[in-house]
């Protein structure tokens, strides 16, 4: 386990944002977590990157020790990232997982001091069927969270992600459910970062930095209800809109990719 220095910075609206600075030297890489993740899932990847980089793993607002000043807006999350970058040298590469990848791309489009951006399996919706399902989900999610029902919000999210009912029931009975329940309100924030569903063509077209979009060869088994090419089609569509995009397929399934496989790919990309 690499040494981690835990600290905070303050966003533009006064919200405290917690982050870990992992031991390492070299250019700064900021890791952006996806849905129902307080940054924990990115730690193994961050440790792989510390051989050549200074890795900053932050907790998005509403997660862990980060604050959650209301009202929420995606612009506040962009400001959070700006504060993290400013506190760690003023420039950085980004890596974003899943909906965190959408936030990373929105941040690059906003013109922050970012060098290169890598994203893994951003769940943009491409087909008419999936776009309709996404919009039904976001409407139901809003109503459910407004009714203060985090358990149903989690069920909605897992169904959207392709989890069968028996897996959802198993998750509810597991010791991990209370932690997920605490993060359920942030599902609304992930939905905001993904917008109406399809890749945001006009904003992606403004990204000047090199962008790497990675996907697994197939979807994870617990997402088996999704189309087999779901993430690949989303990445291809986004790559077609980004001026300096690169695409890489990791030849294993994995929405949470194996750090030993993804780490070297990222290191090569950030140092190209």
Has residue 1 got a pLDDT over 80? no
Q: What percent of the chain has pLDDT over 90?
A: 88
Residue 37 neighbours by CB under 8 Å, 6+ apart: 63, 97, 100, 183
The per-residue pLDDT for range 13-50, each reduced to its tens digit, is 999 999 999 978 899 999 999 999 999 999 999 999 99
Mean pLDDT computed over every residue of the chain: 95
What does the pLDDT read at residue 102? 98
What does the pLDDT read at residue 209? 98
Question: Where are the strands (E) in the chain, listed by range?
Answer: 4-10, 16-22, 28-32, 54-58, 92-97, 114-120, 211-216, 245-250
Where exactly are the structural domains of the chain? Answer: 4-124+198-270, 128-190
Spatial distance between the Cα atoms of 260 and 250, rounded to a whole number of angstroms: 11
CATH number of 4-124+198-270: 3.40.50.1820
What does the pLDDT read at residue 2? 65
Any long-range contacts for 146-150 (C-beta under 8 Å, 24+ apart)?
150/181, 150/182, 150/184, 150/185
Cα three-residue angle 135-189-255, rounded to 5 degrees: 80
CB-CB neighbours of 113 under 10 Å? 11
Averaged pLDDT for residues 155-173: 93
DSSP state string for 218-250: S--GGGTTS-TTHHHHHHHHHHHHSTTEEEEEE
Cα three-residue angle 260-191-239, rounded to 5 degrees: 55
What does the pLDDT read at residue 44? 94
The per-residue pLDDT for range 179-219, each reduced to its tens digit, is 999 999 999 999 999 999 999 999 999 999 999 999 998 88
Spatial distance between the Cα atoms of 144 and 119, rounded to a whole number of angstroms: 29
Q: Comparing C-alpha atoms, which of 106, 95, 112 is closest to residue 41?
A: 95
């Amino acid at each position: 386990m690499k040494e981690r220095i835990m600290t905070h910075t303050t966003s533009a609206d006064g919200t405290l944002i917690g982050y870990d600075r992992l031991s390492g030297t070299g250019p700064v890489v900021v890791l952006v977590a996806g849905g129902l993740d307080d940054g924990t899932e990115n730690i193994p990847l961050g440790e792989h990157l510390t051989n050549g980089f200074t890795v900053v793993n932050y907790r998005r607002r509403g997660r862990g020790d980060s604050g959650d000043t209301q009202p929420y807006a995606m612009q506040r999350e962009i400001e959070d990232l700006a504060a993290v970058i400013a506190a760690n040298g003023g420039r950085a590469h980004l890596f974003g997982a899943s909906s965190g990848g959408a936030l990373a791309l929105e941040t690059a489009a906003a013109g922050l001091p970012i060098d290169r951006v890598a994203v893994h399996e951003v769940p943009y919706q491409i087909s008419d069927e999936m776009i309709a399902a996404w919009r039904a989900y976001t409407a139901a999610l809003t109503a459910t969270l407004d009714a203060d029902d985090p358990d149903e919000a989690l069920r909605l999210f897992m169904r959207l992600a392709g989890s069968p009912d028996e897996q959802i029931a198993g998750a509810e009975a597991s010791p991990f459910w209370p932690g997920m329940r605490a993060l359920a309100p942030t599902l609304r924030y992930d939905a905001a970062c993904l917008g109406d569903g399809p890749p945001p063509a006009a904003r992606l077209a403004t990204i000047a930095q090199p962008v790497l979009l990675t996907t697994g060869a197939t979807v994870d088994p617990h997402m088996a209800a999704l189309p087999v090419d779901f993430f690949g089609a989303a990445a291809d569509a986004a790559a077609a809109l980004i001026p300096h995009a690169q695409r890489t397929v990791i030849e294993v399934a994995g929405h949470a990719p194996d750090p030993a496989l993804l780490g070297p790919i990222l290191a090569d990309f950030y140092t190209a």
